[in-house]
Structures are given as structure tokens and as C-alpha cells.
Structure 1
Amino acid sequence: MDQEHFIRTLSLDDRRPAPMGQAWALALAAAVLVAAGLFATILGPRPDIATAAETWRFLYKFLVTAVLFLTGLWALLALARPGARARLPLLLLAPALLLASVLVELVVAPAGELGSRLVGNNALLCLTFIPLIGAGPLAAFLLALRHGAPDAPARAGAVAGLVAGGLAATLYASHCTDDSPLFVATWYPLAVLLLAAVGALAGRRLARW
């Protein structure tokens, strides 16, 4: 049996979705529990979260991070199966939303405040805790990838890092007091891309078949 026929057989095998589905359900549950537990232990939500929730900048952070998590997860589930369409264009939705909010901020914010809003007060915290919170979920998703047969293990690992980053960033956003889209567009992607880089390197070794 040649490789192409073997991949086609795996893709059509009705016996594979059940164990793969169980693996991903367990990985997702573990990822959420580990990330939420670590976040609650080391950070927790900001004290003024009720007041912050009345502003569009605070709420928009969750829209961007949640969209990254959900679109990334959908793409990752596709990448885990051989021969499946990767749905990677969906990953452009979160950056597009972020870019739109940056354009609005550039229009409505006073010019003298743009620099301070971009730098913020929590850049180091962001670059530290998003990867830290996302490390456990990334490990869970990489283990789940081993139950599949991704055609591109490094790419699948990178997307796993994006999903883990989206989950971690969603939790971290409730703690971060820097709500400006300029800050979010600068520091959140750097933290998430760090997880994507680690995921790509790890996926190359752990998710190949």
C-alpha cells in the first residue's frame, strides 16, 4: 500500500473519529482546567473588572482572543487529519479584528497619548504570563495531535501554539489593565507567537508519523 492510498484510507476510516474525538475532548478539557487553575492561582481578574467591562476597549480584547482561540481550534482539528483542508485563512479573522480596533484607536485617541497607550504598564507581564499560562494547553494539544496523522506536523504544532495562546490571552485579558488596542496589538501577538514557535518546533518531533 503506497503512502497516498494509506492517507486516503485513514481519512475515510469510520473507526478513527471516535478515539480522535475523545482525545481532543480530553485535551480541550485539560487545557481549559490547567490554564484557568494557573491563572486563578498566580493572577486572577483585575480589581476593577466590573467598571472595565463597561468600556468597549476592555470587551474588545476578549472578542479578539476568543476568535483566535475558536478559529485556531477549528483549523487545528482539520490539520490533525491527513489530507484534510487546513482552514488556515480563518486565522486571519482575529488579526483583522485587531487591525480594525487599532485604526479606530488612532482616530479617537489624542495624538499625545498614542505612545503611552502602546507601551502600557504591563508589557513584561503580558510577555511572561501568556506563554506561561499557555504552556499547559500547548502540551495537551500536542499530545492530542499524536492521536492523529497531520500531513504537516510543524504547521499543526504552530497552530496548536496559536490556540493555546488564544486561550491564555483570553484569561490574561481579564487581569491586564492595559485595554488600548495599540497595546493589545503590540504585546499580545508577540506572546502568542512565542507559543506558536515552540509549538512548531515541538510538533515537528512529537506529531510526525
Structure 2
Amino acid sequence: MDTDQLIEALAKDVAPVHRHAVGQRLVAGLAVGVLGTLLLICLWLGFNPQLDVAMRHYSFWMKWGYTLSLGVCAVVATMRLARPDGGKLGWLWVMALPVGSLAAIGIVEMSRVPPGQWLAMWLGTSWSVCSSIVFLLSLPIFGGLLWSFRRLAPTRLRAAGATAGLTAGAWAATLYCLHCPEVSAIFVLTWYTLGIGLAALLGAIIGPRLMRW
């Protein structure tokens, strides 16, 4: 049997794959992970008792706008890297837009208060635990995405792991807003982003081992 015959024999009984199969698989894993993170928040942290009041203030939607923007970009990148061809990720510079926008909001907020209050705005009341909580909340979502990757075919494993971690971190931060009472943009920019970055770093480190096929 020559090479062409071997390829023809291997491909003979291969069923066609639905064009949205990758997206559906990743969304399923993401949904399972999100449910796990919500359960973790409910049992461990609890929801902000003033959530209804917080949702009437721009700061809540500022936080959600930031984390959701990062989460959507990361999901798209993860979907591309779940395919064997990998895709180009040069467009990920667009993630700098929400970062830059939040930084601008933070500068405006700081300009409206005396310099003596800047440190309090930056640290809030939970800076020492915020990043680690976001990281821990990302683990169920990252686990759901790893489950999704078990039936996918990534080839750029480190990049795929990093974007999966980034996705998990961004969506975990989005859900963390349901608990977190902090309202300062500079707080969110620093400590939320650090937690998201830690999740992306974890994905980059363990992705090549757990996503290999």
C-alpha cells in the first residue's frame, strides 16, 4: 500500500465534522466551568449583599465591561487555537483597548480626589486577596476548557493553554464582580488584571502537558 492509498483508506470512513463543532465544544466546557465558579462563589464568598444597589452605579458596569471585553477576546483566540492550523493572533492587540480605557478612567477618577487618597483607591480593602481569589475562581472554568480540548486538536499548545487560562481568568473576574464591593478603576486594573494574568500563566505552563493529543 502506497501513501496515497493509506491516506484514502484512513479518510474513507471519517464522518464530516459540524462547522461549529469547535465553538460548541468550547462553549460547553466554559458553561460547565462557569457553573462551578458560581457555585464556589455561592458557597465560599457569597454575593454582595448590596448588589442591587451596586448594579445601579457605573462602577459595576465599568468592571463588567472590562472583564467581559477581555473574556470575549480570549474566547475567540482560544477557539482559533483549538484548531490544528492555529490561526493568526496578531489581532489580540485589540485587548489593549479595554486596558487603555480602564486606565484612562482610573486617571480621571484619581484627578478628582486629593493625592492623599490615591493609595486607598489603589489598594481598596481587599487588594491582598483579590488577585488570588480571581485565580482560584478561574480553576473550575480552566478545568472545563481542558475537558473541551480533550476532543479538539490544538498544535500550538503553549499559546492555547495561555489563551484558555486567559479566558478562565477573565470570566472568573466577571463572576467575581457579583461579590467584590470595590469601585475604583485603578483597583480593578491592577488586582483583577493580576489574577487574570496568573491564570493565563498557569495555562501557558501546563497547557503543553494537558492538551497534548
Tell me the TM-score normalised to structure 2 length: 0.84
166, 174, 181: which one pairs with 1:177? 181
**More divergent stretch after superposition (84-93 vs 111-120):** 84-93
2:107 match: 103
90, 93, 98: which one pairs with 1:89? 93
Alignment-mate amino acid for residue 154 of structure 2? P
Does structure 1 conserve the Cα–Cα contact (< 8 Å) formed by 2:71 and 2:166?
Answer: yes
What's the CA shift string for 1:67-107, capped at 9, x where partnerless?
A: 11111111110111122233423332332232222222232
Does structure 2 conserve the Cα–Cα contact (< 8 Å) formed by 1:162 and 1:196?
Answer: yes
Larger radius of gyration: 2
143, 146, 153: which one pairs with 2:150? 146
Does structure 1 conserve the Cα–Cα contact (< 8 Å) formed by 2:162 and 2:203?
Answer: yes
How far the C-alpha of 1:128 sits from its partner, in A, is: 2.6
What's the CA shift string for 1:175-194, capped at 9, x where partnerless?
A: 11221011111111111111
Q: Find the aligned partners of 2:113 and 2:211 in 1 and give their Cα distance.
A: 45
What's the CA shift string for 1:33-58, capped at 9, x where partnerless?
A: 11111111112221222222232222
Q: What aligned pairs does 1:32-111 form with structure 2 within 5 A after superposition? A: 32-83=34-85, 84-86=87-89, 87-111=91-115
Q: Find the aligned partners of 1:110 and 1:55 in 2 and give their Cα distance.
A: 22
Does structure 2 conserve the Cα–Cα contact (< 8 Å) formed by 1:67 and 1:93?
Answer: no
Aligned residues: CA RMSD: 2.2
Does structure 2 conserve the Cα–Cα contact (< 8 Å) formed by 1:68 and 1:93?
Answer: no
**More divergent stretch after superposition (93-102 vs 59-68):** 93-102
How far the C-alpha of 1:166 sits from its partner, in A, is: 1.0
- Go from structure 1 to structure 2 and tell me whether the alpha carbon gap of 1:145 and 1:88 turns closer, same or farther (over 3 Å shift): farther
Q: Structure 2: 5+ residue runs without aligned partners?
A: 4-10
Q: Find the aligned partners of 1:147 and 1:89 in 2 and give their Cα distance.
A: 29
Q: Structure 1: 5+ residue runs without aligned partners?
A: 2-8
- Go from structure 1 to structure 2 and tell me whether the alpha carbon gap of 1:122 and 1:77 turns closer, same or farther (over 3 Å shift): same
Alignment-mate amino acid for residue 91 of structure 1? M
Tell me the TM-score normalised to structure 1 length: 0.85
